[in-house]
Structure 1
Amino acid sequence: MAILLMMLSTFSAMAQQSKLKIRIAKIEIDPTYLTAYQAALAEHAEAAVKVEPGVLTLNAVYDKEHPTHVTVFEIYASEEAYQKHLKTDHFLKYKNGTLKMVKSLQLTDVEPISLQTKFVPEKR
């Protein structure tokens, strides 16, 4: 019975992962606005994860050699959660407030191979 429960749990986790909406955003920022953009993105990501149950992960990093090259790794519980996210006040504030800061944006939808996370303290 324990093996059956373990198998059911594994299949349930796999089914949940198959519903996930996972996206990578590669963004190039105008250097003039880099500090302002980083602040806006950090504020947006914090609000989204805090208040939206469907936003599971919003991690943003920049290339050390090219700080204007930003990558955002996003995981949503579903396509529906992603669509809801796009209509939130905090997303619209971020999107509209950073339009002039963004030189290019490339969005790539991806499928998971393995998603493992361990808590990492935020660097401040």
Structure 2
Amino acid sequence: MKANHGILTSFIICILMVATGSVKTFAQDQRKVRMAKLEIHSADLKAYKEALAEHAKTAVKVEPGVLALQAVQDKTHPELFTVFEVYASEEAYQFHLKTPHFLKYKTGTLKMVKSLELIEVEPVALEIKPELIKH
């Protein structure tokens, strides 16, 4: 079991290195990177944060094609959220949209969302300290 854990850890580190641009590969050119800017109704902030955190954790844990899913909340305007997403490919993104955890998140938060803006972005510098990668 320990050997499998080491292999899995190495695999995850490689995936993150590709996701962050630390390794230049053909797969890197296939990545889909996007941002979502959301405004949430004030009464739903706590429930939305919980749903978003659960969704992000599950997606990264169970979907090999979800390389990163990070969300932040504006301190000055707590109703504003930004989600940063990195998928291995367009196909990985399309697969993600059909997963039970995404559909649960989407339908469960639909009425909480006041506005949503999806922004396709081009990676320029996606770096992460190796020690931040959980082993």
TM-score (normalised: structure 2): 0.78
Gaps of 5+ in 2: 1-20
Equivalent in 47, 55, 63 of residue 36 of structure 1: 47
Superposition deviation, residue 115 in structure 1: 1.3
What is the CA–CA distance in structure 2 between the aligned matches of 1:96 and 1:77, rounded to whole Å? Answer: 24
Number of residues of Structure 1 aligned to a counterpart in Structure 2: 111
TM-score (normalised: structure 1): 0.85
What is the CA–CA distance in structure 2 between the aligned matches of 1:93 and 1:72, rounded to whole Å? Answer: 17
What is the CA–CA distance in structure 1 between the aligned matches of 2:56 and 2:50, rounded to whole Å? Answer: 10
What is the CA–CA distance in structure 2 between the aligned matches of 1:13 and 1:107, rounded to whole Å? Answer: 27
Superposition deviation, residue 15 in structure 1: 2.6
Gaps of 5+ in 1: 1-9
Q: Which runs of 4+ in 1 moved over 3 A?
A: none
1:87 aligns with 2:98: yes
- The equivalences for 1:13-28 within 5 A come to 13-28=24-39
Structure ID, larger Rg: 1
Percent of residue pairs identical: 62
Equivalent in 80, 101, 104 of residue 69 of structure 1: 80
Equivalent in 105, 108, 114 of residue 116 of structure 2: 105
RMSD: 1.7
> SS in structure 1 opposite 2:69?
strand
